[in-house]
Amino acid sequence: MLHILGRANSFNVRKVLWLCDEIGLPFKREDYGRGFRPTNTPEFLKLNPTGQVPCVIDDGFVMRESHAIVRYLAAKHAATALFPADLQRRQHIEAWMDWVAYDVTHSMRGAFLGGQLQEPPWNNPWFVAQGRKDLTDQMKLLNDSLQAGGPYVLGATFCLADIPVGLVVNRWFSLKDLERPDYPALAAYYDLLTERPAYRAHGRNGLP
Ligand SMILES: N[C@@H](CCC(=O)N[C@@H](CS)C(=O)NCC(=O)O)C(=O)O
């Protein structure tokens, strides 16, 4: 059975949990990471040299990096509605996933780690302000894209990219002390995702 190492409240572990529930993939999970078992031990670092969660083991095959893990699992279990074989559609899915991993993650350092959790060094005021501005710009980009071609990230149907993007949108609506412009397509997307049981379990579940 698939073995997930990582705490269930981790943003990146939640992507894997959401996918597993979405496609009905059974798994066992062990709590590792902040507040649980340490990830800086030689045993864990042998599995994942970055010392981060999630780390996922599939029948002895060890994986790290949440986006690469969900792509592997979707492809392996032929979840073609979420991650089709068509290379051009795949490219668009992966582009949105990379956008989350790069542009959005950078802005979240200031907006979330600094602004909300007050974690040094991200809580430097200029960095928080810059992160909030960048995140707001990214959410406008997403809102405009959803408005033009939604209701999901890639159009009419839910796909693999909606998993990381959906987690980002949940965090956006959970951020405190942030002036959120009115982005109607984004709000509609948030409500649409909330119809999915797996999103209510791992995405919009009270955690930012
Ligand atoms: N790029 C990695 C990032 C993983 C990551 O940042 N994981 C965080 C949790 S969301 C972590 O391990 N934090 C340290 C901890 O929990 O001890 C991925 O997508 O898997």
Predicted local confidence at residue 34, as pLDDT:
96
Residue from 186, 169, 167, 173 nearest 15 by CA: 167
Within the chain, all domains assigned CATH 3.40.30.10 are found at 2-76
Q: How far apart are CA 198 and CA 155, in angstroms?
A: 20
Residue nearest to atom 2 of ligand 1 (CA): 65
pTM exceeding 0.95: yes
Residue to probe by mutation, ligand 1, list 17, 41, 52, 69, most atoms within 8 Å of CB? 52
Residue 146: both structure tokens together: 């959803």
Percent of the chain with pLDDT over 90: 100
pLDDT digits (tens, 9 = 90+) for 120-170: 999 999 999 999 999 999 999 999 999 999 999 999 999 999 999 999 999
Pocket of ligand 1 (CB under 6 A): 10-12, 33-34, 39, 52-54, 65-67
SS3 string, the chain, reads CEEEECCCCCHHHHHHHHHHHHHCCCEEEECECCCCECCCCHHHHHHCCCCCCCEEEECCEEEECHHHHHHHHHHHCCCCCCCCCCHHHHHHHHHHHHHHHHHHHHHHHHHHHHCCCCCCCCCCHHHHHHHHHHHHHHHHHHHHHHHHHCCECCECCCCCCHHHHHHHHHHHHHCCCCCCCCCHHHHHHHHHHHCCHHHHHHCCCCCC
How many Å lie between the centroid of ligand 1 and the Cα of residue 10? 7
CATH class assigned to 87-202: mainly alpha
Predicted local confidence at residue 188, as pLDDT:
98
pLDDT band per the 50, 70, 90 thresholds, residue 52: very high
For the segment 177-188, the average pLDDT, to the nearest whole number, is: 96
Q: Which CATH architecture has domain 2-76?
A: 3-Layer(aba) Sandwich (3.40)
Q: How far apart are CA 70 and CA 100, in angstroms?
A: 14
Q: How far is CA 13 from CA 87, 98, 160, 199, in A?
A: 26, 17, 15, 13
pLDDT digits (tens, 9 = 90+) for 77-116: 999 999 999 999 999 999 999 999 999 999 999 999 999 9
Q: How far apart are CA 90 and CA 67, in angstroms?
A: 13
In one letter, which amino acid is 96? Answer: W
Q: How far apart are CA 77 and CA 75, in angstroms?
A: 6
Within the chain, all domains assigned CATH 1.20.1050.10 are found at 87-202
| Nearest ligand 1 atom, CA 7 | 16
pLDDT digits (tens, 9 = 90+) for 109-120: 999 999 999 999
Residue from 186, 192, 189 nearest 139 by CA: 186
Predicted local confidence at residue 111, as pLDDT:
98
